Structure 1
Amino acid sequence: MTSRIPLVSATDTPAASRATLDAIHGAFGATPHMFRAVANSPAALQAMWGFFGALGGGTIAPKLGEQIAVAVADRNACEYCLAAHWALGRKAGASAAEMAAAQAGESADPATAAALRFALKLVEQRGQVGDADVAALRAVGFSDAQVVEILAHVALNLFTNYVNVAFAVPVDFPAVKLRSAA
């Protein structure tokens, strides 16, 4: 499969994207295809990488962030994000069973399960959640800051899912089978 948007290389990277791509390469040890596609727009690349960095400094644990990512990726049929976040989730300490459960929107941990239910409701109902949905997160111990961060993780994953699905970005992580179709 060929990407619908060129994957920039070292020789054709827009000058304004070079520093960000260098930082991404340093973080991953390679430059994932998704970032090479987004690098066509220095503004979009800066926004995406900044979003990842900001949430990386948040109060939601990296493992939960990756569990949210695989749930959202599966719901949006984004093979790229599913593969990438499955690998990142394992690196963040999640077992294969925990990642498979998260992909299905489930967890044995009540707080993680509540976060995944909320994340998927945001996706499925386009943000139309109610008081009870937020209260359910608070009931399992999430602070208001963490509730906002869960929503921010969903928003970032919608951005990356849409990039990869719309532009048919070739997967460069070990493949993971989707559970559902979008």
Structure 2
Amino acid sequence: MENVTSLEFNVPTKNEVSSANQEIFDNLNKALGFVPNLYATMAYSDNGLGRYLNFQNAKTSFSNKEKEAINLIVSQINGCVYCLSAHTVIGKMNGFTDAQLIEIRKGKSEHPKLNALVKLASEITERKGNTSEEALDEFFTQGYTKEHLVDLILQVSDKTAMNYLHNLTKVPVDFPLAETI
């Protein structure tokens, strides 16, 4: 059994991971130009990184912009500086301004439909799935469907897993640090 002291996590290199994960590292390098530290940390598990990437990249009823709004509010609530930093960059790539990103992290949006999504994602995260009828009603009033609700729960779980991984491992953030609010 591996001897690990409390919170001692180095980011594994390509040579330190399984051959399946080495192939994923190569694919990430081709697609992104680097292997994000949090992804590399998942490679401590022979199956974890591939399993997670399949889950993260699965089709959803949300646009990329909506996914980023969910990722930001969940990461804000869970206090994950790594994911806030990464999704601030990705949010900008998907058309959000700096001001809009901060507003989403504060749990709101000037756009009514996105506001309903952010509010419900916030409640799902904070209340462990026990949301108010008001937030759920507003979500549906804004045009979201039961399919969206299922996909929202899956997106919250996706981001929560990564938030928890970073909060426990504290590997270095390899994105520009998100502004503290």
Q: Same fold by TM (over 0.5)?
A: yes
- Cα offset, 1:131, TM superposition: 4.9
Specify the alignment match of 1:142 in structure 2: 144
- Equivalent residue letter for 1:121: E
Residue by residue over 1:70-96, the C-alpha shift from the partner in whole angstroms, topping out at 9 and shown as x without a partner, is 111111111000000000000011111
Give unmatched runs, 5+ long, in structure 1.
none
The question of 1:31 aligning with 2:38 is answered no
Specify the alignment match of 1:116 in structure 2: 118
Specify the alignment match of 2:54 in structure 1: 50
Per the alignment, in what secondary structure is the counterpart of residue 42 of structure 1?
Answer: coil
Specify the alignment match of 2:3 in structure 1: none
Instruction: Give the CA RMSD over aligned residues.
Output: 1.5
- Cα offset, 1:162, TM superposition: 0.4
**Contact 1:21/1:39 (8 A) holds in 2:** no
Residue by residue over 1:109-159, the C-alpha shift from the partner in whole angstroms, topping out at 9 and shown as x without a partner, is 111111111111111111112555433211100122112111111111100
Give unmatched runs, 5+ long, in structure 2.
1-6
Specify the alignment match of 1:159 in structure 2: 161
Greater Rg by CA: 2
- Cα offset, 1:45, TM superposition: 0.8
The separation in 2 between residues aligned to 1:176 and 1:99, in whole angstroms, is 10
**Equivalent residue in structure 2 for 1:71, among 70, 73, 78:** 73
The structure 1 segments of at least 4 consecutive aligned residues displaced by more than 4 Å after TM superposition are: none
Specify the alignment match of 1:17 in structure 2: 21
**Equivalent residue in structure 1 for 2:12, among 8, 11, 16:** 8
**Contact 1:4/1:169 (8 A) holds in 2:** no
Per the alignment, in what secondary structure is the counterpart of residue 29 of structure 2?
Answer: helix
**Equivalent residue in structure 2 for 1:102, among 84, 101, 104:** 104
**Contact 2:80/2:163 (8 A) holds in 1:** yes
- Equivalent residue letter for 2:90: L
- Equivalent residue letter for 2:84: L
Per the alignment, in what secondary structure is the counterpart of residue 48 of structure 1?
Answer: helix
Specify the alignment match of 2:4 in structure 1: none
Tell me how many residue pairs correspond in the alignment: 175
The separation in 1 between residues aligned to 2:8 and 2:68, in whole angstroms, is 26
**Equivalent residue in structure 2 for 1:176, among 168, 175, 178:** 178
